[in-house]
Structure 1
Amino acid sequence: MSLIADIGRKTLKNRLIMLCIYLSLTLMGITMVVPFLITLSGSAANDFDYDRFSPLPRYLWSREDRYVKALVPYFNLYRNWTRQFQAYFPNLPEHWSSWTAIGQDQPGIDSFAQEYLSLDSPAAAADYAEFNHTYPLEDCQIYAPPIQVIAFLIEESCAQYRQQEPQKKLSRAELHREALKLLGQQWGVPFETFYSINFNVEMRYPLDFQSWFPDAEHPKMQAYNRFKEAAAAYAFTPGSKRLWRKFLLQRGYPGQDLFPVSSSAPPELQSLWLEFKKTQLPASPKIPFPLRSAWYSYLGSEEVAAQYNGQKLTIAQYNACAGTIFPCLAETPFPLPPEYPNELQKHWRNFCQERYPLRLISLTVTPALEQNFQQFTQAKIRHLRSLNKLLGTSYQDWSQLKLSSTPAAGSTREEQNRRDLWKNFVRSLPLEHKQFHSSEIAFQAFLRQKYPTLEAVNQAYGWNLPHWNCAFPPFAEAYAQTFRNNGRAMTFLPVLDNYKMVMNYMLFNGNAIVVTLVLITLTILCTLTINPMAAYALSRFNLKFGNQILVFLLATMAFPAMVSAIPAYLLMRDLGLLNTYLALILPGAANGMAIFILKGFFDSLPMELFEAATIDGASELQIFRIVAMPLVKPILAINTLNAFVAAYNGWEWALIICQDKEMWTIAVWMYQASIWWRLMPWVVSAGFVLTSIPTMLVFISCQKIILRGIIIPSMK
Structure 2
Amino acid sequence: MPLIPTVGQKSISMRFIIGAIYLILTLGAITMVYPLLVTVTAAMSNAYDYEEFNVFPAYVLNREERYKKFLIEKYFDRPFNLFASNYDLPSEWNAYWDFRQRENVMQNQLSIYGTEGAKGEQLKTIAADYDAFMKQFSPEWQIVLFQRLSQPAQRDFLRQRYDSRVTGNLHGKEQEAAALDIMAEDTGEGKFTSFEYITYDVEKNFPFHAQRWFPEDVVRYHNYIDFVKSLPSTWKMPQTAKYLWLTYLLDSGKSIDQLNAGWGTNYESIYSVPFPLKPPVDAEFRQMWTEYVRERWPLRLIELPPGEGGGVSQLYQSPVRIHLWGCCPDSRVCA
TM superposition score normalised by structure 2: 0.74
- Tell me the CA shift for residue 177 of structure 1: 3.3
Work out the CA distance in 2 between the residues paired with 1:30 and 1:203. Answer: 48
How far off is 1:288 after superposition?
Answer: 0.9
Output the CA distance in 1 between the equivalents of 2:24 and 2:324: 71
Equivalent residue for 2:95?
A: 96
Correspondence list, 1:450-469, <5 A:
none
Cα displacement (A) at 1:138: 1.0
Instruction: Quote the offset at 1:353 in angstroms.
Output: 2.4
Q: Which residue of 2 aligns with 1:321?
A: 264
State the partner residue of 1:222. Answer: 222
Q: 1:321 to 1:440 in 2, by over 3 A?
A: farther
Correspondence 1:144-159 to 2 at 5 A? 144=147, 145-159=150-164
Which residue of the other structure, out of 266, 286, 289, is the alignment partner of 1:345?
286
Q: Are residue 107 (structure 1) and residue 101 (structure 2) matched?
A: yes
SS of residue in 2 equivalent to 1:157: helix
Which whole-Å deviations, capped at 9, do the CAs of 1:113-170 have from their partners, x for residues lacking one? 4544782254766654444332222122103533212221221111232xxx3xx233
Structural RMSD (CA): 3.9
Task: Flag the 1:355–1:438 CA change in 2: closer, same or farther, 3 A.
Answer: same
Match of 2:116 among 115, 119, 129: 119
- Counterpart in the other structure of 1:361: 302
Deviations 1:168-208 (A, max 9, x none): 23335543332233223323222222222222332245726
Aligned equivalent of 1:200 = 201
Which structure 2 residue ranges, 5 or more long, are not aligned? none
% identity of equivalent residues:
22
- Provide, for residues 16-69 of structure 1, a one-character-per-residue CA deviation record: whole Å limited to 9, x for no partner: x835x4453244335555555555444433343444455554433332232223
CA distance, structure 2, for counterparts of residue 114 and residue 441 of structure 1: 24
1:88 is displaced (CA, Å) by 0.7
Which digits, 9 at most, give the CA deviation of each residue in 1:423-445, with x for residues without a partner? xx3652312542112533487xx
Q: Is the 8 A contact 2:141 2:207 kept in 1?
A: no
* Structure 2 CA distance for partners of 1:27 and 1:160, relative to 1, 3 Å: farther
Give the equivalent residue in structure 2 for 1:671.
none
Q: Secondary structure at the match of 1:472?
A: helix
SS in 1 for 2:75: coil
1:288 aligns with 2:238: yes
What are structure 1's unaligned runs of at least 5 residues?
Answer: 235-282, 374-421, 444-470, 475-716
| Mapped partners of 2:84, 2:330: distance in 1 | 20
CA contact (8 A) 1:298 1:304 kept: no
Supply the AA of the counterpart residue of 1:437. W
Residue 472 (structure 1) aligns with: 333
CA contact (8 A) 2:47 2:72 kept: yes
CA distance in 2, matches of 1:151, 1:71: 24
SS of 2:303's equivalent in the other structure is strand
Work out whether 1:86 is the aligned partner of 2:87. Answer: no
Partner residue of 1:191? 192
TM-score (norm 1): 0.38
Counterpart CA distance in 2 for 1:201 and 1:39 is 35
Inter-partner Cα distance in structure 1 for 2:58 and 2:136: 37
Asked if 1:429 corresponds to 2:317, the answer is yes
Contact 2:46 2:73 in 1 (8 A): no
Q: Deviations over 1:341-379 (max 9, x none)?
A: 44433332232223222232123464x72xx45xxxxxx
Superimposed CA distance per residue, residues 212-255 of structure 1 (whole angstroms, 9 cap, x where no aligned partner): x2543233222211111111xx2xxxxxxxxxxxxxxxxxxxxx
| AA at the equivalent of 2:62 | S
More helix by share: 1
Choose the corresponding residue for 2:10, options 3, 6, 26.
Answer: 6
Q: 1:189 to 1:433 in 2, by over 3 A?
A: same
Alignment of 1:212-251 (within 5 A): 213-231=213-231, 234=232
Contact 1:291–1:438 (8 Å) recurs in 2: no
1:37–1:134 Cα change, 3 Å? same
Tell me if the contact between 1:158 and 1:179 (Cα under 8 Å) persists in the aligned partners.
Answer: yes
1:146–1:198 contact (8 Å) kept in structure 2: yes
Q: How does 1:543-692 map to 2 (within 5 A)?
A: none
How far does residue 287 in structure 1 lie from its aligned partner after superposition?
A: 0.9
